[in-house]
Amino acid sequence: MLRITRQVALWEAISAIILFFVAMPIKYILPRFMEVPEDIRMNTVRIAGSIHGFLFVLLVVLIVACWQSYNWKIQRVLLYIVLCIPPIISFWVERDLQKIINKEKI
């Protein structure tokens, strides 16, 4: 379960990057320089935002599931959830989970 949670944290952070640095510029900045069809502008943010939102909710559910399975302290669970709220900081959660996985292998 830790490996899945780690992967979801990684993809959640990547989806945030895509949302903020690809989809939103297509919607708000690109039309200033060239004509972009309305459906493309709106759908890029809607699709990227939906994927990012789904991954965020899935990550929170997986963190709570890990809490139950691995008897984590509540401080760790709350820290992970709080750190997943700002975009891109999920990379730190992914790295921390990798450290936990590496310790279990020993």
The count of structural domains within the chain is 1
Task: Encode pLDDT of 27-69 as tens digits.
Answer: 999 888 898 888 888 899 999 999 999 999 999 999 999 999 9
Name the residue range of residue 9's domain. 2-105
Task: Encode pLDDT of 67-106 as tens digits.
Answer: 999 999 999 999 999 988 887 888 999 999 999 888 877 5
Tokens standing for residue 7: 């992967």
Non-local (6+) Cβ contacts of 6 within 8 A are: 94, 97, 98, 101
Non-local (6+) Cβ contacts of 96 within 8 A are: 80
pTM: 0.88
Which bin fits 36, alpha (ψ -120 to 50), beta or left (φ > 0)? Answer: beta
